[in-house]
Structure 1
Amino acid sequence: MSAALSETRPRAVVHRLARLRPGTWLLAACGLVILLCAAVPGLIAPGDPLAIAPRESFLSPRWGHPFGTDESGRDLFTRVVHGTRSSVLIGVLSTLLGVGLGAVLGLVTGLGRRWLDAAGSRLIDAMLAFPTLLLALLLIAVRGPGVATVIVAVGLSSAPGYARLLRSEVRRVSRSGHVEAARMLGKGPVAIVWRHILPGALGPLLAVATLGVGQAIVWASALGYLGLGAPPPAPEWGAMLNAGRTYISNGWWMTVFPGLAIVGVGVVATLAGRRLSARWAGRGGAR
């Protein structure tokens, strides 16, 4: 019987993969390319992103320089590929920080008493009413520019949204039938929260966090465009946009290709988050 099960499982996996839509395969391929550029950029673009060649400055896209060169003769394709690591790292770390802070605040407000819930909800509302980019700029003005400051600023700016989502999910799950049954069986509060409430409440939060990665990358690029991110000449997409805007009339490629990279990664992360959210919503509806 175990042999029959071992033969059936690979067939089931192959059958499920064959049923995937072409759009899903394309999304997976784009995600794989982004991960390769972030993890091993030298495999995609083996050149040095900081190497200058003044004699080759302002070259339009051509063979050998598919994205052209900048004002210092640096290859833009190499810089865009190597900039993936910085942008994705900022997006992931800031999202993790936002999810962590939002999870703590959401659990406190969702599981706490009424006065604690009221105070936490007012705090979340106040933070959500403050413009996200303005809050990030305020923190950068206090701490100074830099990659670490951008991560903290974007993470703090996104935390209230995650906190509100988790608070509503915790309250929804805590009123469900299986949680009430666990209480009637005499299980302790810690066991109920750990085994019954958190598994049902964290799923939607993690799905939305995938959407937040793309949004965090866009915010980080906006701060880099303002000169508040990684210092030049680091290959960072926002800083590359800022450097290329001066030459946009005769060097359009200096802004187009970094901009396309920002848009592409944001779209892939957003689509992946929507797929996860839709799948989780389907599972919730099935329950």
Structure 2
Amino acid sequence: MTTRDSDDANLLAARFEEQRSHLRAVGYRMLGSLSEADDAVQEAWLRLNRTGPDGIDNLGGWLTTVTARVCLDMLRSRGARREDSLDTHVPDPVVSGAEGADPEHEVLLADSVGLALLVVLDTLAPAERLSFVLHDMFAVPFDDIAPIVGRTPTAARQLASRARRRVQGAGTAPDPDLGRQRQVVDAFLAASREGDFDALVAVLDPEVVLRADAGAAPSVPSRLVRGAADVARQAMLFRTAGAGRFPAGGADRRDVVVNGVPGTLTVVGGSPQVLMAFTVHDARITHIHILADPTRLAGLELPG
């Protein structure tokens, strides 16, 4: 390789790195998985490296399109294996300290990409998800989306519209004030510790959904629970089970922020055991996500 070729390669790599955070954000919204998003970004780099920049007028747009195509293929290939676990699957969380997202996570979590939203996106058909994510979250025109999904621009617009209705109907948007959200969550946790069933129901939305994903861990079974009374009863059971699993003084519960909403992280002996995230809307909890899969917890980037 000549010096000029080496300089060109370094310049191309530097231009790609300028786009990496954006591309990872696209992949995360498309896939709900940080590792798969990284795989999609890496594949986009490999394709750029093979193709070269000649003839690419808008590198950012080209890379966004390539990353979206890779994600679409990944969504289509994962469809069959996810069908049976969608109810209890919790997407990969982005966890920050109690004060909120750090700069590294800000791009990834722009537009309040909460776990509740990612769960809804997981229920969409791949082409619907791509059309919605690219247009509504990244302002990509339907004329550019249409070739990716193999539809007309009008059909791509309809796909995004269907997805938008599903998202809006699911009530995934949290209250804007993180401090007030935390007050509601603290009230829930206090009621759970005290075994106060009525106080638990009082801070839960009537249609609240609890989704617990334990992976293959036998001690915390995966489950989906709906409705304030049933979720309150489940919280009472978690309280009893937690007392047995984590003896007094053996567990450290930390306040964290999970995808922009209040959460808690239980750590035992330096190892994360349970991560909980709460979506609060109109001062009531509408969604609770629990991740207790030891393999996935061990792989998370967690605040110190």
What TM-score do you get using the length of structure 1 for normalisation? 0.30
Richer in helix (by share): 1
Q: Larger Rg: 1 or 2?
A: 1
* Higher relative strand content: 2
